[in-house]
Structure formats: C-alpha cells, structure tokens
Amino acid sequence: MPEIQPFITSRVFNAPRNLVYAVHTKPEHIARWFGPAGTKVLKFDMDFRVGGVNHYGIVVPPDVEMWGKQVYKEIVPLEKVVHVQSFSDKDGKITRHPMSPSWPAEMLATTTFTDEGKGCKVTVSWLPYNSDEASIATFDGARDSMSGGFKGMFDNLEAYIKELA
C-alpha cells in the first residue's frame, strides 16, 4: 500500500495560476478534463457563485450515463473553491453512488491554488459531507487532525487490515 495521506492530493502544473484557476471555474474548460477520457457532455449547467449549482450529465465510455451536482459553498477568486459534490438523477435529485451505494451521499471538496515557481500548485481535499450542522462542524474541525494523525494509524493497521480483508 502506498503512503497514505488521506483526503488530500496535490499536483504542480506548468501553467500560470490565473489559467489554472480559469480551467477550474469556467464551464467550457472544466467539461474538457473533469470526466474520464472520451466523456460526452449532456448537460453542464454551471452557475459559478456561492450558493450556485452545477447540475451536469455526462456519458462516459463505453456508454454509461451519469448525473451529478456541485453546490458552491465558498469562492475566493484565484485562491480557493469549496463545493459539495454528489451524484444525482436527471432532475437534480441527489442519489447515492451508482456503484457504491454505501458511500456517503455527499462529499465536501476543497480546491486551493498557490504559486509554485512559474507554475501553480493545486491541492484538493475531500471529506464525507452531511448537511446537518453538527456533522459539518465535526468535519471542519477534524480535517487537520485527520490528515496529520491518520498516517500513523493506517501504518499500524495496514498489516492487520490486509490479514482480515
């Protein structure tokens, strides 16, 4: 098992920050890279503002129709976008993951943009999301603790999990 840094992944792109931010926040760009290669876009209704919704439908190869919803929670231009990601049906009603129905229905994703040399570093973190206040507080408060403290635990448990899984 590779080294686990749960909930967070990042990449440095060889492009200026304003361009990297633009391809994350403008519908004509996002539709080009967000879905798997060969994705056909059925609908991409992106209302990019706090409280705005992107209800989208795509067809991924070989021929699987998928609908999803993004709700924008926080936008700091050129720096940060926080959105809630969920699967949905055609009408925008939230559903579970079609292949993993036991997964949390909604996920909170935070994307940050920082300069890195001449390029731009994008960091994405994600957590299960429940729309009740208590859960939000729990996960907001827990994010740092989780990211830092998880690794040790998973290192310790790795062998054990493998044994029993």
Partner 1 sequence: MRLYFTNRLNTLEPQTMPTDLLSKTFAALADPTRRAMLVRLSRGEASVNELAKPFKMSLPAVSKHLKVLERSGLITRGRQAQWRPCKLEVRPLVQAVDWMEGHRKEWEQRFDRLDAYLTELQKKEKKTNQKQPKP
Give contact residues for partner 1 (rule: CB under 8 A).
4, 6-7, 9, 11, 13-15, 19-20, 23, 29, 32-34, 36-37, 93-96, 100-107, 122, 124, 126-128, 130-131, 135, 138-139, 141-142, 145-146, 149-150, 152-154, 156-157, 160-161, 164-165
Comparing CB distances to partner 1, the nearer of 81 and 127 is: 127
Closest to partner 1 by CB, 72 vs 87, is 87
Nearest-10 Cα torsion for 115, 119, 120, 123: -110
For the range 156-159, what are the long-range contacts, defined as Cβ-Cβ under 8 Å and sequence gap of 24 or more? 158/1
Q: What is the DSSP letter of 53?
A: E
Q: At closest approach, how far in Å is the CB of 160 from partner 1?
A: 5
Rounded Cα distance, 155 and 5, in Å: 11
Q: Which is nearer to partner 1, 59 or 94 (CB)?
A: 94
Query: In the bound complex, what is the minimum distance in angstroms from residue 13's beta carbon to partner 1?
Result: 6
Transcribe 98-112 into DSSP letters: SS-TTS-SEEEEEEE
In the complex, minimum distance from the CB of residue 136 to partner 1, in angstroms, rounded to a whole number: 11
- Enter the DSSP assignment of 1: -
